[in-house]
Every structure is written in structure tokens, then in C-alpha cells.
Structure 1
Amino acid sequence: MAYFNYKSHNIYYEEIGTGTPLLMLHGNTASSVMFSEIAVKYSDNFKVILIDFLGHGKSDRLAEFPADLWFDEAQQVIAFLKAKDYKNVNVIGSSGGALVAINVALEAPELVTKVVADSFEGEIPLKEFTANVVEDRELSKHNENAKMFYQQMQGDGWEKVVDNDTLAIVRHEKEIGKFFHKDLAFFKPDILMTGSKQDEFVGSISPTYFEKIYGEMLSKIGHGTMHLFETGGHPAMMSNQDEFVSISKAFFAK
């Protein structure tokens, strides 16, 4: 197992395959384990890089997560890419990892070539989610499927990881309220936004949620495209895995 030192903490990473670097960023309460199957499907064309953000998976655990979680995780990624001398990197971010990917591209555009941002809520927290996140997370800790996911992603101590993440989400909405520090007009790399029209987190709000939010963001960026899957749950890249791989590879090849 390989580790990268960041502010006296160890961040776990793994590299698979050869070719153009492709960094895959996991979402909240997850870890790089979520990519164990799909990463192989890219490894014939790319050098796939997987990392566990601090506090997750095989990386060092934290007493608490920072309120500006997705920006802090972007700083971890930027430091990692610079230390490893990675340039012209393609990035795929899933859910919260998509927020991190966009932050990386905004803060260090010289490191990134293209971004696929999958199944994320937009520029600001989704109030319908944050309003109920504490109660929903408590319930999830007693749901067998959710517990199985948490245990698979985090191993021992998974409950503390979930609690840390929940608290960070609550604090972020109260103290910060936006995911990105820079205006989207400064976003330089090419970007593809993906999602499922049946995403359980946003489908109850509006069946056209992603179409509207992504459309507004792409207008501000001034370039980029979106692809919305008709079926599948959250995140779309996992529930539509084969089609997502095909679409993303075509995007990277352009």
C-alpha cells in the first residue's frame, strides 16, 4: 500500500494501469473501494489513480472533518498531484467527489485536462437534503444495506466516519454555504456533467433537477456538455457503469 504525506497525515493512494493519468475521486461516506470494479475498465487506456480522502478508507482518520470539506479535499488532491509530478490529468468525481474535482480544476487548472463530474447537487448545498441529513444518517446506521456499504468503504470505525461527515455537511451549510471558492467563469478544463433522471436524492425535488442545475452551471462556465441517463440510482456512474465508461472514454478521447 502506498501513502502520501499531507500536513502530517497519511493519504492512501493506488495506481493501476499505464497511460494518461485518470484520477477517480470518491463521494461522501465512501472510499476508493467504490471504484474497485469500474477502475479496471479504464486501466487498459489510462493510469488510474485512486485515493482515499483524509478520514476515509485506508487514509489516516480525523477527529473531525473541516466544514469546508470539499475544498479541503481538493487541497489534498492538488498537493498529491504536485508531489507526484502529475500533469494533464483527467478527473472523474462521483457525488461529493465531483465537487472536489471541480474545485481542483478551479484552483489548479494547469494540472487538469478534462473533468467528468457525476451526480452532484450544484453550486450550493441542497436544502432538502441538509435539512434532514442528521435524521436520515441516524436511520441509515440501522439499515442493513447502508451499514454494509459503510463497512465495506470504511472498515472498522465506520460509524465515526459517517458522524464526522454528517457534522461537516451541517456546519458547511451554516458557516460557508457554497461549494466553490472561485467563480465558475474561471473554470478552464473541458467538462462533462452526468447524472441519472431517477437519482433518489434529487428526483423527488424535480425530474429535471440535473438538467436545470447543470445547464445553469455550464452557462456560467461557457463550455462543456452534460449527459443524463434515463434510469439508474445515485451515483449514475455506478448504476449505469458500462454506458458511463463508454461515454467518458469517448469524452476523454476528443
Structure 2
Amino acid sequence: MSHFYFHNQRIYYTEFGAGAPLLLLHGNTASSNLFAEIAQRYRKDFQVVLIDFLGHGKSDRLDEFPADLWFHQAEQVIAFLREKQYPKANIIGSSGGALVAVNIGLEAPELVNKVIADSFEGEKPIIALTENITEDREASKLDAETRMFYSSMHGSDWEQVVDNDTRAMIRHQKEIGGFFHKDLGSFQPDILLTGSLEDEFASALAPDYFEKVYGELLAKIGHGKMHLFDTGGHPALLTNQDGFYQLSLEFLTGKC
């Protein structure tokens, strides 16, 4: 296993394939295991890099996640990219990983080529979801399929990871409230926003949630595209894997 150090703590990563670097960034309560299948498809065209954020997967555990979780995770990736000295990297972030990807593009655009941000909330947390997060997470821990997912992501101490994430999300809404530190108008890399119209989180709020929120984001950024899949759940990257892979390949290679 490969690791790099961030603030004296070990972060797990693995890399394989050949070509321009492509980082796949996981979301909340997940790890790089989330990309086990689709990552193998990208290895034909890219040097694929998978990372477990601190406190997740095979990385060192944290007693507590920082409230500004997605910015802190972006700092981890920025440190990693600078240490590895890759040429400009492509980044695909899904769900919470999409927030990390946008933060990286805002904070260190010189390190980034193109960004795909998949199935995320927008600029701020969805209050209706955060208000119920404790109850929803407790219910999820009783569901056999979800427990299996958590275990496959983190191992036997998965419950600590899930609880840390829940508390961080609540603190973020109360103490911070916004996902990004810089104005979106300063975002420089090419960007593609993706999602599914049947995403169980977004569609519960409004049938056109992604269309509206992504449209507002792109207007502030001043460039970029969006693609919404008609079917599939959360995240689109996994529930529309064939279509997402083809779309992402065209975008990242400049054929979109």
C-alpha cells in the first residue's frame, strides 16, 4: 500500500494505468473502494489515482472530522498533487467528493486540468437534509445492505467513520454554511456538472433541483456544461456507469 503524509498523518492512495493523471474523489461515508469497478475502465486512457481522505478507508483515523470537511479534504489533495508533481490533473468528484473537486479548482487552479463534479448539493448544504441527518444515519446503520456498504468502505470500525461524518455535517451547517471559500467567478478549469433526475436526494426537494442549482453555479463560474441523466439514483457516476464513463471520456479528452 502507498501512503503520503499530511500533517503527520498517513493518507492511503493507489495509482495505476498510463496517461494523464485522473483523480477519483469519493464522497461522505465512502472511500476509494467506491470506484473499484469504474476505475478499471479509466486505466486504459489515464493514470488513475484513488485516495482515501483522512478518517476514511485505509487512511489514518481521526478522533473528529473538521467542520469545514470538504475544504480540509481539498487541502489534502492539493498537498498530494504538489508532492507528486504530476502534470495538471483531471479530477472526478462524486457527491461530497464533487465539493472537494470544486474547492481544489478554486484554491489551486494551476494543478488542475478539468473537473467533473457529480451529484452534489450546490454552494450550500440542503437544510432539510441536514436537519434529519442524525435520524437518517441511525436508521441506515440498522439496514443490512447499508451496513455492508459501510463495512466494504472502511472495515470493522465503519460506525466511527459514519458518526464522525454526521457530526461534521451538522457542525458545518451551524458554524460555516458554505462549501467554498472563494468566489465561483474565480474558478478557472474546464468543468462539467453531472447528476441524475431521479437522484433520491435531489428529486425529493424538486424535480428540477439539479437543473436550477447547476444552472446558477455555471452562471457564476462563467463557463462549463451540465449533463443530467434521465434515470438512475445517487450518485449518477455509479447508477449511470456506462453513460457516465462515455460522457466523461469525451469531456476529459476534449471530444465533448
TM-score normalized with structure 2 length: 0.99
Alignment of 1:16-95 (within 5 A): 16-95=16-95
What letter is aligned with 1:34? L
- 1:7 maps to which residue? 7
What letter is aligned with 1:186? S
- 1:61 is displaced (CA, Å) by 0.4
- 1:20 is displaced (CA, Å) by 0.3
SS at match of 1:149: helix
Alignment of 1:1-254 (within 5 A): 1-254=1-254
User: For residues 244 and 85 of structure 1, what CA distance do their matches in structure 2 show?
Assistant: 28
Q: Deviations over 1:8-50 (max 9, x none)?
A: 1000000010100000000000000000100000000000000
SS at match of 2:43: coil
What letter is aligned with 1:75? E
User: For residues 181 and 68 of structure 2, what CA distance do their matches in structure 1 show?
Assistant: 10
Alignment check: 8 A CA contact 1:87 1:110 kept: no
Q: Where do 5+ consecutive residues of structure 1 fail to align?
A: none
- 1:157 is displaced (CA, Å) by 0.4
What letter is aligned with 2:80? F
What letter is aligned with 2:200? E
SS at match of 2:121: coil
What letter is aligned with 1:175? E
Q: Where do 5+ consecutive residues of structure 2 fail to align?
A: none
Q: CA RMSD in A?
A: 0.4
- 1:51 is displaced (CA, Å) by 0.2
SS at match of 1:87: coil
Q: Deviations over 1:135-185 (max 9, x none)?
A: 000010001111011000010100000000000000000000000000000
Q: Give the % identical residues.
A: 63
User: For residues 87 and 110 of structure 1, what CA distance do their matches in structure 2 show?
Assistant: 10
What letter is aligned with 2:114? K
Alignment check: 8 A CA contact 2:20 2:87 kept: no
What letter is aligned with 1:241? Q
- 1:109 is displaced (CA, Å) by 0.1
User: For residues 2 and 40 of structure 1, what CA distance do their matches in structure 2 show?
Assistant: 18
Alignment check: 8 A CA contact 1:196 1:233 kept: yes
Q: Which runs of 4+ in 1 moved over 4 A?
A: none
What letter is aligned with 2:209? Y
- 1:87 is displaced (CA, Å) by 2.6
User: For residues 59 and 142 of structure 2, what CA distance do their matches in structure 1 show?
Assistant: 25
Q: Deviations over 1:84-124 (max 9, x none)?
A: 11231000000000000000000000000100000000000
Alignment check: 8 A CA contact 2:23 2:89 kept: yes
Residues paired across the two proteins, number: 254
